[in-house]
Structure 1
Amino acid sequence: MASGSNVAPIIIKRKKVVSGDGHHGGAWKVAYADFVTAMMAFFMLMWLLNATTEQQRAGIADYFSPTIPLSPISGGGDGAFGGNDIFAEMTLPKNGIGASQDKSTEGDMARGDVGQEGQAKDTEAFAAVEEALLGQSGESDAHDEMLRHIVTRVTDEGLVIEIFALEGAPIFEEGTAEPTAMLRDLTEMLARVFRIVVNDVAVEGHVRARPLVFEDNPIWTLSAGRAESVRGLLQGSGLKSSRLNRVTGHADREPIVENPMSVRNDRVEVILLRSGR
């Protein structure tokens, strides 16, 4: 009777479940998140390098220093909590380290900031030079044609006086370090103006890029030769040699305009350095 029963047989179906498949796991998400975080930190670093001054970068570096310095260097801010140094010469002191102009060291005011008084003197000196150079007082010796070749700007390094070439109006003979008559007049004027201040002077030569690649590219020697030529003109016009801090050539490595072959990149920068530089 049992063999003839109409009851359907019971079938047990076992399903194998596989988890953590390499193609469908979540480990890649963790790796991707780490990558995105690292890229965000990298771009923040690039932004900080471009958006901050040298003093602010020094303050940021001090903040992340693994040890606590005995003589704090500086802070990244500029307010009441900007990281003023309590170890400086004044009671509520300046930013930075080193000596002030009142108490200079053997290293000529060391390597730090010269204090608010020194900064104020530099600001006054730069303003006086710009006024005399650009003729804001109406007493400048430079005429309009010469002033077309001059641009000034104040940087962390000092007052940069840029003398540049224009189309059809070079400042050196083509491909040489021989100055034109106009550049001789300009450097003579600079030497006279620099007598009203005592800051040191630096000269930097720059040239435009060449359209061809030479095995022995002459732009390095050319830029250095042009800087040396301007140094000689300044010194020959009465600038004391003791005030000349450095003479350098930068070839075409620091173009001032986007097109590296533009004639505007043929220039000489005469820098009136800040005190203590």
Structure 2
Amino acid sequence: MEIQQAAIVQPIIIKRRRVVKADGHHGGAWKVAYADFVTAMMAFFLLMWLLNATTEEQRKGLADYFSPTIPISRISGGGSDGLNGSSIMTEETYAKDGTGASDRHPSSASFEGKSEIDAAKEKAISTELETLKQSLTEEGSKLSEHMLIKMSAEGIVLEITDSQDAPLFPVGQSVPSNLLSDMLALVADSFATFENDIKIVGHTDSLSYRNGAGYDNWNLSSDRANAARKLLLSSSLDPNRILEVSGKADTDPLMKDDPSAAQNRRISITILTR
């Protein structure tokens, strides 16, 4: 009887359930994607603000500064600060600083790339010459029409130009007119306010002497430069300040489109600052 009851006992079955837990909103990957989206939107709105707050010239300066295809010069496209500059210096486009396009913007000047002392001295000289020209204009004098101030690699250039109505020299001669004498007397007074050395260069137009003449534009431009030197010395300019007197004939015209223009007949006085 006991054997029969043992056979009736049922086996014990244990069931184990497998519980699968979710990843909790797919982890933190969405946060990274959202942060990227917010960063991109912030950059977009910053770009929109910059486009609205800057000029075309400033945007071009920024583009030139960060472009790897443009060689970096001593003056960067960004100018003196982040948004204040022209493109990389060229003779055609960098007229703002006076280093380029000097024939079209002769009065503009740049004092970047120099020490503070040199820049201050150069600016003072430029201001002195501009003041001289302005004073002549206010007095109603026609002398100011013959004066042109520009920058060069050597320093500040004072161009004293000819005109059809009031020539500096008689045609084909190196005898200075009263007009030139008066102008150089005023110039010598202005030169007394600083101590920089100078050089004098004479220029002519493209009109030449007849074939076979023993005297040509090279002789004429050199003689005119020397005549200007003598006028400056007669106005008490220190002769030791004059480092060079030369003539370039018609090889460096001021009016390149019209080689025979009267403005090409001129005396260039360079105040050396480099």
- Asked if these proteins are the same fold (TM beyond 0.5), I'd say yes
| Residue number in structure 2 paired with 1:19 | none
Unaligned runs of 5+ in 1: 1-61, 64-73, 82-112
Rate the CA distance shift 1:115–1:221 in 2: closer, same or farther, 3 A: same
Are the aligned partners of 1:208 and 1:262 in contact in 2 as well (CA < 8 Å)? Answer: yes
Are the aligned partners of 1:170 and 1:180 in contact in 2 as well (CA < 8 Å)? Answer: yes
**TM-score, length-normalised on structure 2?**
0.55
Unaligned runs of 5+ in 2: 1-70, 83-112
Q: What's the RMSD between the two structures over aligned residues?
A: 2.8
Q: Which amino acid aligns with 2:164?
A: E
**Identity of counterpart residues, as a percentage?**
26
1:126-275 to 2 correspondences below 5 Å: 126-135=126-135, 143-210=140-207, 214-215=211-212, 216=214, 218-257=216-255, 258-274=257-273
CA deviation after TM superposition for structure 1 residue 119, in Å: 1.5
Q: Deviations over 1:140-165 (max 9, x none)?
A: xx752211211112333222111111
CA deviation after TM superposition for structure 1 residue 75, in Å: 4.2
Rate the CA distance shift 1:248–1:79 in 2: closer, same or farther, 3 A: same
CA deviation after TM superposition for structure 1 residue 168, in Å: 2.5
Q: Distance in 2 between matches of 1:184 and 1:230?
A: 8
Q: Distance in 1 between matches of 2:177 and 2:137?
A: 27
Q: Deviations over 1:76-106 (max 9, x none)?
A: 535689xxxxxxxxxxxxxxxxxxxxxxxxx
| Residue number in structure 1 paired with 2:121 | 121
Rate the CA distance shift 1:115–1:227 in 2: closer, same or farther, 3 A: same
Q: Which amino acid aligns with 1:180?
A: S
Q: Distance in 1 between matches of 2:263 and 2:136?
A: 25
Are the aligned partners of 1:152 and 1:159 in contact in 2 as well (CA < 8 Å)? Answer: yes
Larger Rg: 2
Q: Aligned pair count?
A: 171
Bigger proportion of residues as helix: 2
Q: Which amino acid aligns with 2:269?
A: V
Structure 1 stretch displaced more, 183-192 or 159-168: 159-168
Q: Which amino acid aligns with 1:124?
A: A
CA deviation after TM superposition for structure 1 residue 195, in Å: 0.6
Q: Distance in 1 between matches of 2:143 and 2:269?
A: 16
| Residue number in structure 2 paired with 1:87 | none
Are the aligned partners of 2:209 and 2:216 in contact in 1 as well (CA < 8 Å)? Answer: no
User: 1:196 aligns to what SS in structure 2?
Assistant: coil
Q: Distance in 1 between matches of 2:162 and 2:237?
A: 23
